């Protein structure tokens, strides 16, 4: 960043299109969606304003005012109160929704009073004619005493005007308060406040008092004086109310002259759709059918490309083996890396379909209706209607889901939501479930149209939700945390999903999944392969041992080779390690090879399949390379002579993965969001115990 | 006593001046001002929360909050 770059902060009500504008200005692809609270953290990007001028743009969470009631909103206040030259914004770009300009201007008026240069971008002007809105732009500029631009971030209109306005505003460095609340409410009181420090504007000092947020630059003496103002808390509260009323009065005066809505021209789709989606019967029925459709399609649509990818990787491994000279490196490629990577790539179709559905749901505005439908129910379990968003988006990944809890203002409800979110079936579990279901559940239709495998998958998702809710209930009854529950949610307009947004969302998330898991599996498969193809004395003497012991049993050459391979694997380093934990997992129905996969998937669940693929490849008799599914289904349990992955083992494994907290990244995020090691550790050990006990019961009952 | 919580679905009322001190600041900021017209748009299936429209904002609030906000009804 160079010294001349203008620092611009994007501020505005939730869901007004700040991130859409940010993406247009910077060329980045940050997540956009149609419900309040998509952005919950700061994000910076660079933008070229003109040939000679660059800017650093900061995207921020949405907020209705600078009086925060939740973590995401307080990030905005902190940014605004910064006095540090390096960090404090030079220009504030307020993004407002044209449809609800009045409410959006409240925040604008507060920011103006901080006396920072401000540009007002009125977004979504593409909606103006449909809603019968017209604006007198030049008069509005004059009345607000600020640069005002009309834009449509989604249609990429007016972006250059924004850039020019930022430059003009920065050069003029003109900043004057809009409302000047002091004279209207209690001049003496506010004059006394202003005298405390010459370095801050009156409104900044007022915010410090009301928000209990004191920047470093304030001296302890000054702080003491500010604290005196807090003594009369009723007066403070009353003045805050008065301030808000006064601001609205001023805004109304201005809008009366400049903003006209012709109601007769407005088309109202919202109320019709709402009548259906929030209906007491159809609302829930629709929600359930929607979920059913999603899980059916994950299985039905994805199976063709998945089988194709699976076969392709087998071909690639074959091809590599045939064409590269024999040796250690070729072995590493064909037995370690290729099957390992294949174990991740194969799941792209399913993951992408899941992400596609989530992205569409988020873009239509339906999510907020689910929040509305679910609040009462969620409250019984110690959560909040808003908790449903992490629980749904947690089906993609728990990490952004846990971040999304920042919009929940009550700490207890937020903590409970964070703790139970890992129960929801994230996309990393999907690979494990998918392969196990394909192995142990017959592919047939029930009732003529429902795919049984899809139903089992749905049941596993239901198990996840049910345990999340149950765990929440237990926490609700046992956690001794006091905090007030409060709930206001804005219901956004319904929108047709923007194809571009949905596309990027699916691509970005799928990419993150593949590369995230890919990196781990690449590293792990090399290590695994090494540990599986080396060993101690017994490993090296395997051939001798087998020929000596089995020579008289009339085995064919092939069988002898196979025998040698398995004795080798058993005595390799990884084999010894796996064998040592076998007694612990045997009651769950697992052998040591599955045990190895359990250990590696503590880093990330999705490496389970890749790990098994690598292990089985090392052991496999070298001639034919088979697909992952064939490898797993032909694995025999030597004790019974039956398939290793039979029904009880498959079910027990699925139950294990449903509960176990096998994700380092989630633990790290929980640590960050709860600011202590206590909660992630409780999660880790509590869930491990739960997983073990439930799998044990499952296996023992079924076998 | 009429409050937002006692409105029928689709009914309209005006927030009374006297409830100013009982309106949470956050709601006030979102447009729930004394004197403003408020319409009850939808009631959630379990009777809570309520979906209201006030000053151009469409909000879902809980019954508990809604019952603190007194309103005047205009009979047509
Ligand atoms: N019609 C229309 N829709 C828009 C426009 N700009 C953004 N949107 C849509 O508005 C919704 C919200 O956009 P975001 O960019 O996520 O809004 P945000 O202000 O960053 O929201 P939060 O991060 O939740 O505060 C998305 O569905 C966008 O597609 C626009 O100019 N016209
Ligand atoms: Mg955003």
CA of A20 to the centre of ligand 1 (A): 6
Taking the CA of residue B13 and the nearest CA in chain A, the distance in Å comes to 18
Distance between first and last Cα of chain A: 64
pLDDT confidence of residue A427: 85
Q: pLDDT digits over A463-494, tens only? A: 999 999 999 999 999 988 888 878 999 999 99
Whether the pLDDT of residue A692 is over 80: the answer is yes
Q: How much is the average pLDDT of A64-86? A: 86
Nearest CA in chain A to B23: A241
Contacts of A74 (CB under 8 A, 6+ apart): A68, A213
Q: How many CB atoms lie within 10 A of CB B72?
A: 11
Chain B residues 13-32 with a CB less than 8 Å from chain A? 20-21, 23-31
Regarding predicted confidence, which is higher, A58 or A434? A58
Instruction: Say if CB A528 and CB A303 are below 8 A apart.
Output: no
Cβ of residue B65 closer than 8 Å to a chain A Cβ: yes
- Average pLDDT of chain A is 88
Nearest to B60 among A67, A284, A372 (CB): A372
HSE, CB side, 13 Å, CA atoms: give it for residue A203: 21
Please name each of the domains of chain A with its CATH number: 6-172 (3.40.50.300), 182-265 (no CATH)
Name the residue among A32, A23, A184, A102 with its Cα closest to residue A497: A32
pLDDT at A156 over 90: yes
Whether B41 sits inside 8 A of A241 (CB atoms) is no
Cα–ligand 2 centroid distance for A404 (angstroms): 12
d(CA A78, CA A299): 46
Residue A132 DSSP SS3: coil
Whether the upstream peptide bond of residue B49 has omega within 30° of 0, thus cis, is: yes
CB nearest to A487's CB, from B31, B56, B61? B61
Task: Choose the closest CB to A490 out of B20, B23, B59.
Answer: B59
Mutate to test the pocket of ligand 1, among A10, A20, A31, A361 (most ligand atoms within 8 A of CB): A20
Which residue in A has a C-alpha nearest to residue B60's C-alpha?
A: A489
Closest CA to A204 of A91, A107, A110, A120: A110
pTM for the structure as a whole: 0.87
Whether A528 shows a pLDDT value over 60: the answer reads yes
How confident is the model over A308-319, as a mean pLDDT? 87
Does the pLDDT at position A17 exceed 90? yes
Report pLDDT digits (tens) over A93-115. 999 999 999 999 999 999 998 88
pLDDT at A182 over 70: no
Average pLDDT value for residue range A406-431? 92
B66: tokens are 């809604």
Q: Whose CA is nearest to atom 30 of ligand 1?
A: A124
| Mean pLDDT (whole number) for A425-448 | 87
Look at residue A187 in the predicted model and tell me its pLDDT.
Answer: 83
pLDDT-derived band at A430, boundaries 50, 70, 90 = confident
Taking contacts as CB-CB distances below 8 angstroms, the residues of chain A near B23 are: 241
Say if residues A228 and B16 touch (Cβ distance below 8 Å).
no
pLDDT of residue A448: 74
Given a cut of 60, whether residue A1 has pLDDT beyond it is no
Which of B12, B18, B49, B65 is the mutation pick for testing A, counting most A CBs within 10 A?
B49
Establish whether this prediction's ipTM goes over 0.90: yes
Euclidean distance between CA atoms A172 and A146, whole angstroms? 11
- What is the structure's pLDDT at B17? 86
Going A388 to A393 to A397 to A399, the CA torsion angle's sign is negative
Please report the sign of the dihedral spanned by the C-alpha atoms of residue A203, residue A206, residue A208, residue A210: negative
Interface contact B60-A248, CB threshold 8 A: no
Task: Look at residue A624 and tell me whether its pLDDT is greater than 70.
Answer: no
Percent of chain A with pLDDT over 90: 42
Residue A440 has pLDDT above 70, yes or no: yes
Q: How confident is the model at residue A385 (pLDDT cuts 50, 70, 90)?
A: very high
- In whole angstroms, give the CA distance from residue A46 to residue A604: 33
Which of B21, B48, B56 is nearest residue A241 as measured by Cβ atoms?
Answer: B21
Whole-number Cα distances in Å, A684 to A591, A662, A670? 23, 8, 11
Full domain range(s) for residue B18: 2-73
pLDDT-based confidence at A538, cuts 50/70/90? confident
Phi, psi of A254, deg, nearest 5: -65, -45
Candidates A275, A387, A408, A491: best to mutate against B (most CBs of B within 10 A) is: A491
Rg (CA), chain A: 30
> Distance from the CA of A16 to the center of ligand 1, in angstroms?
5
Strands of the A6-12 sheet, one edge to the other: A43-48, A54-59, A6-12, A91-97, A118-123, A147-150
**Is residue A584's pLDDT more than 90?**
yes
Band (pLDDT 50/70/90 cuts) for residue A61 is very high
Contacts with B55 from chain A: Cβ below 8 Å: 102-103
Number of domains in chain B: 1
Rounded Cα distance between B19 and A258, Å, is: 30
DSSP A30: -
At A623 the pLDDT is 55
| Residue A683 CA from chain centroid, whole number | 19
Q: Does the pLDDT value for residue A272 go beyond 80?
A: yes
Of B27, B48, B55, the CB nearest to A488: B27
Most confident of A86-90, B16-20, B46-50: B46-50
Q: What residues are in contact with ligand 1 under a 6 Å CB criterion?
A: A 12, 14-20, 32-34, 36-39, 61-62, 123-124, 126-127, 152-155, 363, 495, 498, 501
pLDDT on residue A508: 87
Residue A622 has pLDDT above 60, yes or no: no
Label residue A625 by pLDDT band (50, 70, 90).
low
Mean pLDDT of A121-139: 93
Residues of chain A in contact with residue B33, where contact means CB-CB under 8 angstroms, are 244-245, 248
Token pair 């909103």 in the structure block, residue: A73
In the reported structure, the alpha carbon of residue A33 is separated from the centroid of ligand 1 by a whole-number distance in angstroms of 6
Confidence tier at A350 by pLDDT (50, 70, 90): confident
Q: Which residues have C-beta under 5 Å from ligand 2, the single-atom ion?
A: A 18-19, 38-39
Residue with the larger pLDDT of the pair A95 and A455: A95
pLDDT confidence of residue A677? 93
pLDDT beyond 80 at A564: yes
Find the DSSP H helices in A479-556.
499-532, 537-540, 542-550
What mean pLDDT comes out for the span B41-59?
91
Higher-pLDDT residue of A335 and A593 is: A593
Task: Summarize the confidence of residues A614-620 as an average pLDDT.
Answer: 79
Domain with residue B30: its CATH number is 2.30.30.90
Q: Percentage of residues in chain A with pLDDT exceeding 70? A: 97
Closest by CA to A192, choosing from A209, A173, A178, is: A209
pLDDT band of A341, cuts 50, 70, 90: confident
Q: Mutation target for A interface from B29, B35, B40: give the one with most A CBs within 10 A.
A: B29
Among all residues of chain B, which has the CA nearest to that of A101?
Answer: B56
- Distance (angstroms) between ligand 2 centre and the Cα of A291 equals 26
> Count of H helices and E strands in chain A?
34, 11
- Could you tell me the sign of the dihedral formed by the alpha carbons of A607, A609, A612, A616, in that order? negative
- What does the pLDDT average to over A155-183? 84
CA angle, residues A351, A277, B30, in degrees to nearest 5: 100
What is the A165 CA–ligand 2 centroid distance (Å)?
A: 21
The C-alpha atoms of residue A578 and residue A82 are separated, in whole angstroms, by 55
* CA dist list (Å): A659 to A420, A477, A656: 11, 21, 6
């Amino acid at each position: 960043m160079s010294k001349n770059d203008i620092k611009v902060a994007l501020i505005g009500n939730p869901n007004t299109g700040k991130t859409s504008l940010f993406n247009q200005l910077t060329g980045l692809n940050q997540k956009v969606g149609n419900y309040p609270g998509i952005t919950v953290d700061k994000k910076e990007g660079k933008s070229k304003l003109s040939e000679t001028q660059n800017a650093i743009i900061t995207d921020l969470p949405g907020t209705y005012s600078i009086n925060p009631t939740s973590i995401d909103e307080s990030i905005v206040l902190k940014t605004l109160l910064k006095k540090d030259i390096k960090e404090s914004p030079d220009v504030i770009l307020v993004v407002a929704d044209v449809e609800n300009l009045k409410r959006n201007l409240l925040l604008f008026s507060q920011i103006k009073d901080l006396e920072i240069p401000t540009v007002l971008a009125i977004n979504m002007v593409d909606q103006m004619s449909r809603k019968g809105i017209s604006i007198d732009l030049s008069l509005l500029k004059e009345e607000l005493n600020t640069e005002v631009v009309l834009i449509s971030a989604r249609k990429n209109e007016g972006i250059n005007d924004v850039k020019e306005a930022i430059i003009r505003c920065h050069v003029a460095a003109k900043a004057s308060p809009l409302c000047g609340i002091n004279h209207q409410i209690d001049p003496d009181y506010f004059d006394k406040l202003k005298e405390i420090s010459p370095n801050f504007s009156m409104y900044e000092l007022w915010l410090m008092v009301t928000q209990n947020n004191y920047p470093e630059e304030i001296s302890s003496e000054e702080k003491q004086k500010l604290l005196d103002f807090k003594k009369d808390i009723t007066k403070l509260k009353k003045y805050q109310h008065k301030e808000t009323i006064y601001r609205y009065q001023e805004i109304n005066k201005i809008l009366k002259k400049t903003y006209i809505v012709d109601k007769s021209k407005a088309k109202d789709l919202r109320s019709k759709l709402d009548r259906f989606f929030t209906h007491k019967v159809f609302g829930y029925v629709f929600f359930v059918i929607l979920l059913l459709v999603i899980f059916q399609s994950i299985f039905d649509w994805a199976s063709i490309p998945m089988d194709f990818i699976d076969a392709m990787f087998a071909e690639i491994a074959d091809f590599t083996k045939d064409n590269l000279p024999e040796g250690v490196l070729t072995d590493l490629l064909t037995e370690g890396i290729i099957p390992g990577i294949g174990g991740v790539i194969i799941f792209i179709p399913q993951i992408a379909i899941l992400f596609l559905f989530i992205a569409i749901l988020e873009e239509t505005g339906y999510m907020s209706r689910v929040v509305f439908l679910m609040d009462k129910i969620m409250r019984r379990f110690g959560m909040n209607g808003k908790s449903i968003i992490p629980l749904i988006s947690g089906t993609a990944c728990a990490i952004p889901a846990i971040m999304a809890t920042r919009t929940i203002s009550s700490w207890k409800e937020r903590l409970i939501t964070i703790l139970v979110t890992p129960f929801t079936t994230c996309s990393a579990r999907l690979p494990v479930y998918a392969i196990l279901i394909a192995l142990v559940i017959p592919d047939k239709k029930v009732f003529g149209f429902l795919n049984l495998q899809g139903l089992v998958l749905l049941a596993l998702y239901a198990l996840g939700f049910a345990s999340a809710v149950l765990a929440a209930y237990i926490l609700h009854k046992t956690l001794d945390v006091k905090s007030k529950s409060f709930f206001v949610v804005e219901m956004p307009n319904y929108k047709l999903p923007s194809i571009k947004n949905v596309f990027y969302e699916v691509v970005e998330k799928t990419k993150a999944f593949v590369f995230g898991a890919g990196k781990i599996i690449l590293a792990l498969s090399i290590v695994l392969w090494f540990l599986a193809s080396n060993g101690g004395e017994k490993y090296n003497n395997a051939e001798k041992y087998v020929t000596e012991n089995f020579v008289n049993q009339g085995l064919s050459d092939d069988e002898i080779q196979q025998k040698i391979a398995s004795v080798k694997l058993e005595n390799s380093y990884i084999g010894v390690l796996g064998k040592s934990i076998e007694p612990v997992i045997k009651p769950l129905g697992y052998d040591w090879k599955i045990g190895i996969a359990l250990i590696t998937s503590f880093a990330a669940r999705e490496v389970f399949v890749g790990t098994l693929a690598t292990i089985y490849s090392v052991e496999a008799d070298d001639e034919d390379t088979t697909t992952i599914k064939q490898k797993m289904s032909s694995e025999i349990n030597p004790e019974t002579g039956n398939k290793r992955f039979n029904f009880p083992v498959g079910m027990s494994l699925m139950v294990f993965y449903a509960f176990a907290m096998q994700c380092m990244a989630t633990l790290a995020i929980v640590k960050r969001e709860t600011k202590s090691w206590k909660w992630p550790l409780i999660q880790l050990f509590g869930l491990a115990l739960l997983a073990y006990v439930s799998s044990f019961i499952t296996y023992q009952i079924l076998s | 006593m009429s409050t937002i919580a006692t409105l029928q679905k689709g009914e309209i009322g005006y927030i009374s001046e006297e409830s100013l001190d009982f309106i949470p600041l956050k709601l006030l900021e979102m447009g729930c001002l004394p004197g403003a017209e408020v319409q009850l748009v939808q009631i959630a299936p379990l009777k809570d929360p309520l979906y209201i429209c006030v000053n151009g904002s469409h909000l879902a609030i809980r019954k508990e909050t809604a019952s603190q906000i007194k309103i005047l009804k205009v009979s047509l």
